[in-house]
Amino acid sequence: MSNTHVHKDYHGAKLGMWLFLFTEVLLFGGLFVLYSVFLSKYPLEFHEAGKELDVVIGTLNTVVLLVSSYFVALAISFIQRGDKKKAVLFTWLTMAMALMFLVNKFFEWKAKFSHGIYPTSPHLADLPHGENIFFGLYYIMTGLHGIHVVIGMTVLGFMVNFLRRDIITQEDFVKLENAGLYWHIVDLVWIFLFPLFYLVL
Amino acid sequence: MSEHNGHILSVKLLTAVLAVLLLLTFITVAATRVDFGYLKVVVALALATTKSLFVILFFMHLKYEDRFIKIIVFLCFLILAIFIGMTFLDVAYR
């Protein structure tokens, strides 16, 4: 392939990714609107229900995601310099942080379940209406976010493979950049989920 | 094709951004343990917005993108703000 000219539209590739990210922003944006409308309707119930959440796990997961964003940004910076080894290493580390996030989330949800707090549980049905709504939103929003973490991890896995096979190189790294953009959006959503669910209540 | 290699962020800059983000996270946690009443939500969201600006500008590289991408990112958040604003007008005057 080296002597055939392959046209790559770098700008178009990035623009496409940003356009996709806008749909993600609006998807989560809709849920944030729902959250804020119910918060203004049931402030006391939200306050009570919010006490159930573990601030320590929430803070830990925030730190984990911020560090993961840093790692993927480093991976891009290294491939731009032609340091393939470090780019691979930091993409792996980003995935490791994503996994750590999910493990924390698993234990958090498990603890909630053992307290009888899960969708359609009899305990939730007995709680005041506002608290029930709070946990509904909690599971939908953190669940949808969790799905994004899993997708992000998978995408990063492909990136490790692409780096190894020199599909992503110093000259052509837009795939890794776009994967990074996706990963940062996952982090951005959490930056808002964390204070709204774990802190303000 | 290497005309795009343009801007490489230094490890130093990225590390500084991470430090700011971690610091703001701990400020958020500390600030919301104090009882501000309703202001709490405002403080928490203001800090979250500041954090996301750092992520978008540096980690997501927006500071170094061309004007067109900057404008459409701004428009996206403007639309979200209008969406949220209109919903609140509806909720407030219902």
Task: Measure in Å the smallest separation between the Cα of A122 and chain B Cα atoms.
Answer: 31
> DSSP letters of A42-107?
-HHHHHHHHTTS-HHHHHHHHHHHHHHHHHHHHHHHHHHTT-HHHHHHHHHHHHHHHHHHHHHHHH
Mean pLDDT score, A21-46: 93
What gap in Å lies between CA A114 and CA A21, rounded to an integer? 36
A1 touches chain B (CB under 8 A): no
For testing the chain B interface, which of A70, A79, A183 should be mutated: the one with the most B CBs within 10 Å?
A70
A10 touches chain B (CB under 8 A): yes
Alpha helix segments (H runs only) across A81-201: 84-114, 122-126, 129-164, 174-194
Task: Measure in Å the smallest separation between the Cα of A156 and chain B Cα atoms.
Answer: 16
For chain B, what is the mean pLDDT? 89
A103 touches chain B (CB under 8 A): no
* Confidence at residue B38, expressed as pLDDT on a 0 to 100 scale: 75
- Say if residue B23 is in the same domain as residue B53: yes
Helix H or strand E encompassing B90: helix B67-92
For chain A, what is the mean pLDDT? 93
Give Cα B6 distance to the centre of its chain. 24
A14 touches chain B (CB under 8 A): yes
Inter-CA distances, A173 with A166, A168, B21, Å: 10, 5, 26
Q: Which domain holds residue B82?
A: 64-93
Reported pTM? 0.92
A contacts of B76 (beta carbons < 8 Å): 22, 25-26
Residue of A36 and A95 predicted with greater confidence: A95
* Confidence at residue A4, expressed as pLDDT on a 0 to 100 scale: 63
> Of the spans A36-40, A193-197, B17-21, which averages the highest pLDDT?
B17-21
Confidence of residue B36 (pLDDT cuts 50, 70, 90): confident
In a domain, B5, yes or no: no
**pLDDT tops 70 at residue A41:** yes
* Confidence at residue A200, expressed as pLDDT on a 0 to 100 scale: 78
CATH classification of the domain holding A167: 1.20.120.80
Q: Poorest-confidence range of A190-194, B6-10, B49-53, B80-84?
A: B6-10
B84 with A32: Cβ contact below 8 A? yes
B88 touches chain A (CB under 8 A): yes
User: What number is the ipTM of this complex?
Assistant: 0.91
- Say if residue B51 is in the same domain as residue B70: no
* Confidence at residue A121, expressed as pLDDT on a 0 to 100 scale: 87
Total tally of structural domains belonging to chain A:
1
Tens digits of residue pLDDT in A1-11: 455 667 788 99
- Say if residue B56 is in the same domain as residue B15: yes
Residues, chain B: 94
- Say if residue B70 is in the same domain as residue B53: no
- Say if residue B72 is in the same domain as residue B53: no
* Confidence at residue A5, expressed as pLDDT on a 0 to 100 scale: 67
- Say if residue B42 is in the same domain as residue B69: no
What gap in Å lies between CA A200 and CA A121, rounded to an integer? 25
- Say if residue B16 is in the same domain as residue B57: yes
**pLDDT tops 80 at residue A201:** no
Contact A145, A185 (CB under 8 A): no
For the beta carbon of residue A199, count every other beta carbon within 10 angstroms. 24
B23 touches chain A (CB under 8 A): no
Residue of B32 and A37 predicted with greater confidence: A37
In a domain, B24, yes or no: yes
In a domain, B2, yes or no: no
B30 touches chain A (CB under 8 A): no
In a domain, B45, yes or no: yes
DSSP structure class, residue A167: S
- Say if residue B30 is in the same domain as residue B42: yes
What gap in Å lies between CA B60 and CA A184, rounded to an integer? 7
In a domain, B16, yes or no: yes
* Confidence at residue A91, expressed as pLDDT on a 0 to 100 scale: 98
* Confidence at residue A62, expressed as pLDDT on a 0 to 100 scale: 97
- Say if residue B59 is in the same domain as residue B80: no
* Confidence at residue A119, expressed as pLDDT on a 0 to 100 scale: 86
* Confidence at residue B6, expressed as pLDDT on a 0 to 100 scale: 63
**pLDDT tops 50 at residue B1:** no
Total tally of structural domains belonging to chain B:
2
Confidence of residue B68 (pLDDT cuts 50, 70, 90): very high
B contacts of A171 (beta carbons < 8 Å): 1-2, 5
**pLDDT tops 70 at residue B5:** no
Q: Searching chain A, which residue's CA lies closest to the CA of residue B53?
A: A188
Which member of A40, A69, A81 has the closest CB to residue B8? A81
- Say if residue B36 is in the same domain as residue B15: yes
**pLDDT tops 60 at residue A60:** yes
* Confidence at residue A124, expressed as pLDDT on a 0 to 100 scale: 86
**pLDDT tops 90 at residue A153:** yes
**pLDDT tops 70 at residue B42:** yes
In a domain, B50, yes or no: yes
Confidence of residue B37 (pLDDT cuts 50, 70, 90): confident
In a domain, B39, yes or no: yes
For chain B, percent of residues with pLDDT exceeding 70: 94
Q: Which domain holds residue A174?
A: 3-198
- Say if residue B20 is in the same domain as residue B30: yes
- Say if residue B54 is in the same domain as residue B84: no
